[in-house]
Amino acid sequence: MDLQASERGRELRDAVAAMVRDRIAPLDAEYHAETGTGGDRWRHGPRQSEILETLKAEARDRGLWNLWQTHLDGGPGINTVDYAWIAEEMGKSWLAPEVFNCNAPDTGNMEVFARYGTPEMQDRWLKPLMAGEIRSAYLMTEPSVASSDATNIRLECRRDGDHWILNGEKWWATGAGDPRCAVHIVLARTDPDGPRHQSHSMLVVPTAAPGIEILRGMQVFGDYEAPHGHMHIRYTDVRVPADAMLLGEGRGFEIAQGRLGPGRIHHCMRAIGMAEKALTLAVERGHARQAFGRELLELGGNAERVAEARMMIDAARLSTLRAAAEMDAAHHETGDMKRAAPAISQAKVLVPRVAQEVCDMAIQLHGGMGVSQDTELARLYGHIRTLRLVDGPDAVHLRTVYRAEMKARGLR
């Protein structure tokens, strides 16, 4: 369980860190400033496109492209532990993940296409995704059911000759607001009466298909996170050919599980970077400001709060790295990562919790400025807060940890 990055991993991390710090982060504010309002929200302004495409080209040139391919042929030759260290750096800028073609949900979707896609799909969707030419969305959560229990998912998918017809609503489809979003991967219920875990299937749906309607963007604490967004979408008699179904009828959860493991840990990795950024802001502010004749950090419990933040961020990072190491080991030994699920769930609960606390502490140290537009803290907070919900809420992951504990003891 080596939690250190490999030499290759360290080089890549340093290169990513440098590019984030010197090239990407300085453009974050300018990029966001051009985001429109109303319907314009979902377009890239000319400067946004320019910033993004220039940086993407630069990342590709530097060999920092598609680093997420930890266990795929033709990948960068690093493992999940390496990627954890790299992704942490990407978490320190809003733009960075996409600049490196490492943003959710595209990484997860690319992995799905690579593993389960037909050659045609790989040609049509995977290739341009890998090239950063199109974007994709993943449609799972639904507004009318508690999606924490995925068996509740009920977007209807019925057979009609050589086609599947899809009807229903999805929301929180991240990235679906982006005009470059060309394809959806959709979890749908194919058999309303089937066994609990074999009634759902995964389908590939072009966004150009008739019957797809984007109802609105979902806000995260008032923020549309445009232009990519988290969209609320309605499917009305959306028709796709039979071979649009991945892996086969009733095998939706099988794909979802394989997809979500890495996705969850990627979120954790980036969240560590966010927590580090919040801590940096807290320390800098607390050091620069004076009250009652002393610097803020030396007042009351503030120094202890900084130490607690450092201690808990480090523990959270170790938890993430350990999950990554277990994923690597599981991959090498069994070909899949199921075995690592409890470790992933631990990190998935611990990291956002720690990041949320650190962010809240940083806000408090900033006074009113902390909740305002003058720091990234409020936006960071909103984003981190959603991590306790996406890809399974805390309660579901604690249940996974509990079950594994009982099973390890032979009590279940």
Residues in region 151-170 near its own copies by CB under 8 A: 152
Q: Out of 160, 243, 332, 402, which residue is the one contacting its own copies (CB under 8 A)? A: 402
Q: Out of 7, 22, 38, 73, which residue is the one contacting its own copies (CB under 8 A)? A: 38
Q: Which residues, in sequence order, are bridge partners of residue 232?
A: 216
For residue 110, the minimal CB distance to its own copies (Å) is: 23
Beta strands in 6-134 (DSSP E): none
> Any contact of residue 399 with its own copies (CB under 8 A)?
yes
> Any contact of residue 17 with its own copies (CB under 8 A)?
no
> Any contact of residue 370 with its own copies (CB under 8 A)?
yes
Beta strands in 286-329 (DSSP E): 290-291, 294-295
User: Which tokens sit at 322?
Assistant: 């350990």
For residue 79, the minimal CB distance to its own copies (Å) is: 14
Helix (H) or strand (E) holding 354: helix 341-366
Among residues 95, 333, 125, 143, the alpha carbon closest in space to that of 246 is found at 125
**Torsion sign across C-alpha atoms 377, 379, 384, 386:** positive
Q: Out of 319, 324, 327, 357, which residue is the one contacting its own copies (CB under 8 A)? A: 319
- For residue 36, give Cα distances in angstroms to 43, 73, 406: 8, 40, 51
> Any contact of residue 409 with its own copies (CB under 8 A)?
yes
Residue closer to its own copies by CB (options 87, 244) is: 87
> Any contact of residue 223 with its own copies (CB under 8 A)?
yes
Whole-angstrom distance, CA of residue 380 vs CA of residue 362 = 11
The DSSP symbol for 192 reads T
> Any contact of residue 234 with its own copies (CB under 8 A)?
no
Residue closer to its own copies by CB (options 122, 198) is: 198
For residue 58, the minimal CB distance to its own copies (Å) is: 28
For residue 241, the minimal CB distance to its own copies (Å) is: 31
Q: How many other C-beta atoms are found inside a 10 Å radius of the C-beta of residue 216?
A: 13
Residues 333-362 that bind its own copies (CB under 8 A): 343, 346, 349-350
| Three-state SS at 216 | strand
Residue closer to its own copies by CB (options 132, 370) is: 370
Q: Considering only the stretches 17-25, 128-136, 185-193, 280-288, report the one whose residues sit in contact with its own copies under the rule CB under 8 A.
A: 280-288
AA identity, residue 370? G
The DSSP symbol for 220 reads B
Pairing of strands 181-189, 135-139: parallel
Looking at 45-118, list the stretches that DSSP marks H as alpha helix, in order from N- to C-terminal side. 46-61, 80-90, 96-99, 106-116
Residue closer to its own copies by CB (options 207, 346) is: 346
In the chain, what is the greatest distance between 2 CA atoms, to the nearest angstrom?
A: 79
> Any contact of residue 39 with its own copies (CB under 8 A)?
no
> Any contact of residue 40 with its own copies (CB under 8 A)?
no
Residue closer to its own copies by CB (options 145, 165) is: 145
Q: Out of 172, 185, 212, 391, which residue is the one contacting its own copies (CB under 8 A)? A: 172
Residues 47-106 that bind its own copies (CB under 8 A): none
**Torsion sign across C-alpha atoms 97, 100, 102, 104:** positive
Whole-angstrom distance, CA of residue 36 vs CA of residue 213 = 21
> Any contact of residue 171 with its own copies (CB under 8 A)?
yes
Q: Out of 45, 75, 128, 143, which residue is the one contacting its own copies (CB under 8 A)? A: 143
Query: 6 near 82, Cβ under 8 Å?
Result: yes
Residue closer to its own copies by CB (options 204, 330) is: 330
Q: Considering only the stretches 13-21, 119-127, 245-253, 377-385, report the one whose residues sit in contact with its own copies under the rule CB under 8 A.
A: 377-385
